[in-house]
């Protein structure tokens, strides 16, 4: 049944006129004619005689509106499932990294906002995407930014420093001379009607980014290593920020216009969506590592545009080439603008790839359109799955402009930018370690796994890694002072577990198990914390002071407090009950005041408790002596006995690891005695 218009339906059914025959008749309300199938029998009678003497005409029983709607819904779902199945069979709804018989090619353009104090062509103060500045504030908007007549651009040399650092981090060659060009296009976020960029003579050329399978998350089809070529890195000015309002109204915030950007342009060498997302992630790590950009992709400091094309291949990846002639045979590309997360990069590429393949296959099936003409070169937007369903979808924004459309021309008001080689050498020497070198150091010298290293460097924009270094240094100093010997690598792995996992629990656990501090005596119940963020800064500062966590971990590593007490202390620091500043109890004061020092029982007491724990567990112990135990040790039964020992022992004086060792020894003695008696 066709959908019924809401207004006529409401007029007929909800205003007391549903019993009027003309309203439900074909001539009464044409828009409501579908209701004829559901009217009551008394509306269909054409006779004026009594129902007892007139036989109604034979006809099918009317179908209820509810049932017809349900049937239509089922049919619609079945049709969608059939279409999805046929698309999956032909590779159209493929969620994988490759589609058999097709090659995907992706080129990426990344716009990164530079970490500077002023805008690119004016002395107005720069703003960060994370700042909460008042829109169109005079301090952030200069005359040139809003293109007032007579205003001239004044290049700010300080913006070169982060731009050069970014280009060097990407392995580019800095050009001794670069120039600015006008890129003409008209849009409300561009007051001058053109954008100043470096199209013909950019800041840097010929760079590359290396991606590794074990740490960067590239597609398995790409193997262990991928090198992505950087064609050029160019400086340009940002546009104004558009703020959508109800009723189709848009407000403009000119605080962002004129902000210095670097645009990073890759060669069309990426062929798998996961590798494309990994590339964007790696570029963000590189720019953050050299302090070139203000914030990451999710915060708005970076924006990624992806160019996507597909073409048929006869032999899969073996047919792929990367030379110029091969590039000229690529399919028609479309550009997806302003992707703001790594997941969006991967999902948008997959959705656009599937859309293009479907369009080409439909054109081939029709036979009257060339497969190459099936794809229109255009700029598209991205609607994520949360709003578009299934895998998300791309949608047309506008036609794709070309070099002729932009009418590039050298800017007559700006001279060339000349960069001295000595400046480049100095910035290269002070660049610091690359993310790859840092990851190697964390794996080789800190004993961390590649997975933990990747998580540590990705969290909090690199702030978690800096925090980790500070805590490791403080813990090692405390242990060296207590033992007189340099701690080993295992201490660094121990600290990493707490910095990665236990700090993460603070933002997910809503309650601490105990209260520690001045208010603890007044309340023994758990108190809900109202803070859900660590407030980690890129410099490695957060709500958990380094000194407090170092004290907790040093005491825990030495065995002076239990793991449970260490976690309780961490919650107390997070709530602010324990602090490293004057006026509040320190970690050591809180442990002493609450008598939380670990007074562990002796080895003989462990052995006695272990014997008591296994005393009446003959049935359980037989499983340790069975032949199956030789192949697979019954760890579950062992943990059961360990738990029993911990319950038998004095509260707060037993260590789980030592308890397990005592139970293992007791079980081994029982098995040995049992086998000797059997023999």
Q: Quick one: pLDDT at residue 594? A: 84
> Domain ends where: 594, 616, 638?
594
> Domain ends where: 395, 410, 425?
410
- Report if residue 83 sits inside a domain: no
Residues 637, 670 share a domain: yes
pLDDT in tens, 628-650: 887 888 889 999 999 999 999 88
Q: Quick one: pLDDT at residue 533? A: 80
Residues 135, 224 share a domain: yes
Residues 262, 388 share a domain: yes
- Report if residue 203 sits inside a domain: yes
- Report if residue 496 sits inside a domain: yes
* DSSP character at residue 511: B
Residues 659, 561 share a domain: no
Structure tokens, 3: 């959908």
Residues 442, 400 share a domain: no
- Report if residue 61 sits inside a domain: no
- Distances 135 to 138, 140, 239, 253, 254 between C-alpha atoms, Å: 9, 9, 14, 5, 7
Q: Quick one: pLDDT at residue 546? A: 93
Residues 467, 339 share a domain: no
- Report if residue 395 sits inside a domain: yes
**Backbone phi, then psi, for 623, in 5-degree steps?**
-70, -25
- Distances 52 to 16, 42, 47, 48, 56 between C-alpha atoms, Å: 29, 13, 12, 12, 10
Q: Quick one: pLDDT at residue 655? A: 84
Under-70 pLDDT residues of the chain: 1-65, 79-94, 130, 315-328, 368-369, 371-372, 388-390, 401-404, 508-532, 582-583, 679
Domain that residue 487 falls in:
433-509+533-594
Structure tokens, 257: 């216009």
* Number of structural domains found in the chain: 3
Residues 624, 572 share a domain: no
CA-wise closest residue to 593 among 556, 574, 565? 565
> Domain ends where: 547, 563, 594?
594
Q: Quick one: pLDDT at residue 371? A: 65
Residues 655, 581 share a domain: no
- Report if residue 6 sits inside a domain: no
Q: Quick one: pLDDT at residue 174? A: 95
Residues 464, 349 share a domain: no
Q: Give 655-663's long-range contacts (Cβ < 8 A, gap of 24+).
A: 655/559, 655/562, 655/598, 655/600, 656/563, 658/600, 658/606, 659/606, 659/609, 659/610, 661/606, 662/603, 662/606, 662/607, 662/609, 662/610, 663/610, 663/613, 663/614, 663/638
CA-wise closest residue to 225 among 209, 247, 237? 209
Q: Quick one: pLDDT at residue 83? A: 52
CA-wise closest residue to 256 among 204, 195, 305, 201? 195
- Report if residue 320 sits inside a domain: no
Residues 453, 368 share a domain: no
CA-wise closest residue to 589 among 573, 600, 598, 578? 578
pLDDT in tens, 21-53: 333 333 444 444 444 443 333 333 344 444 444
Structure tokens, 353: 């790839």
- Report if residue 424 sits inside a domain: no
Residues 339, 200 share a domain: yes
- Distances 481 to 284, 476, 485, 670 between C-alpha atoms, Å: 39, 8, 8, 43
Residues 238, 151 share a domain: yes
């Amino acid at each position: 049944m066709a959908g019924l218009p809401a207004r006529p339906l409401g007029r007929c059914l909800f205003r007391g006129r549903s019993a009027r025959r003309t309203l439900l008749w074909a001539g009464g309300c044409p828009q409501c004619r579908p209701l004829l199938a559901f009217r009551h029998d008394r509306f269909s009678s054409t006779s004026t005689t009594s129902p007892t003497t007139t036989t109604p005409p034979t006809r099918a029983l009317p179908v209820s509106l509810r049932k017809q709607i349900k049937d239509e819904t089922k049919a619609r779902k079945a049709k969608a499932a059939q279409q999805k199945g046929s698309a999956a069979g032909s590779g159209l709804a493929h969620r994988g990294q490759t589609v058999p018989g097709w090659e995907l090619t992706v080129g990426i353009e990344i716009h990164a906002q530079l970490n500077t104090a002023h805008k690119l062509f004016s002395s107005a103060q720069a703003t960060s995407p994370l700042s909460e500045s008042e829109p169109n504030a005079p301090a952030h908007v200069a005359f040139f930014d809003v293109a007032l007549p007579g205003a001239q651009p004044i290049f700010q040399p300080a913006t070169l420093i982060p731009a050069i650092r970014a280009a060097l981090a990407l392995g580019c060659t800095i050009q001794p001379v670069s120039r600015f060009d006008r890129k003409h296009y008209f849009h409300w976020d561009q007051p001058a009607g053109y954008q100043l960029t470096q199209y013909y003579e950019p800041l840097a050329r010929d760079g590359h980014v290396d991606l590794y399978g074990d740490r960067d998350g590239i597609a398995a089809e790409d193997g262990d290593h991928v090198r992505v070529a950087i064609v050029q890195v160019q400086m340009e000015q940002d546009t104004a920020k558009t703020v959508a309002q109800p009723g189709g109204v848009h407000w403009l915030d000119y605080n962002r216009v004129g902000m210095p950007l670097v645009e990073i342009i890759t060669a069309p060498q990426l062929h798998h969506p996961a590798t494309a997302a990994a590339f964007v992630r790696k570029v963000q790590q590189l720019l953050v590592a050299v302090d070139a950009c203000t914030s990451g992709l999710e915060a708005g400091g970076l924006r990624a545009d992806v160019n996507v094309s597909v073409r048929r291949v006869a032999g899969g990846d073996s047919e792929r080439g990367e030379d110029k002639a091969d590039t000229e045979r690529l399919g028609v590309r479309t550009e997806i603008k302003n992707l703001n997360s790594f997941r969006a990069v991967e999902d948008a590429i997959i959705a656009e790839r599937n859309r293009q393949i479907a369009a080409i296959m439909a054109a081939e099936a029709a036979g009257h359109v060339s497969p190459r003409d099936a794809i229109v070169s255009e700029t598209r937007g991205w609607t994520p799955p949360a709003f578009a369903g299934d895998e998300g979808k791309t949608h047309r924004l506008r036609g794709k402009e070309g070099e002729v459309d932009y009418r590039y021309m050298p800017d007559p008001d700006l001279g060339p930018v000349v960069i001295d080689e000595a400046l480049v050498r100095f910035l290269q020497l002070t660049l610091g370690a690359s993310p790859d070198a840092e990851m190697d150091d964390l794996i080789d010298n800190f004993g961390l796994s590649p997975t933990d290293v990747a998580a540590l460097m990705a969290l909090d924009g690199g702030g978690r890694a800096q925090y980790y270094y500070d805590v490791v240094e403080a813990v090692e100093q405390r242990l060296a002072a207590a033992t007189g010997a340099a701690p080993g690598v295992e201490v660094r792995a121990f600290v990493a577990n707490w910095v990665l996992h236990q700090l993460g629990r603070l933002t997910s656990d809503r309650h601490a198990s105990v209260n520690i501090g001045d208010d603890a005596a007044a309340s023994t119940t758990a108190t809900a914390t109202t803070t859900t963020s660590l407030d980690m800064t890129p410099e490695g500062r957060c709500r958990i002071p380094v000194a407090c966590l170092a004290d907790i971990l040093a005491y825990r590593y030495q065995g002076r407090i239990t793991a449970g007490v260490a976690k309780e202390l961490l919650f107390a620091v997070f709530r602010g009950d324990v602090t490293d500043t004057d006026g509040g109890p320190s970690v050591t004061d809180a442990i002493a005041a609450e008598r939380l020092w670990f007074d562990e029982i002796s080895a003989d007491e462990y052995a006695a408790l272990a014997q008591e724990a296994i005393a009446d567990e003959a049935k359980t112990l037989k499983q340790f002596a069975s032949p199956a135990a030789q192949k697979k040790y019954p760890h579950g039964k062992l943990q059961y006995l360990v738990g029993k020992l911990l319950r038998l022992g004095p509260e707060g004086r037993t260590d789980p690891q030592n308890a397990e060792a005592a139970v293992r020894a007791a079980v081994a003695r029982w098995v040995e005695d049992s086998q000797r008696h059997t023999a």
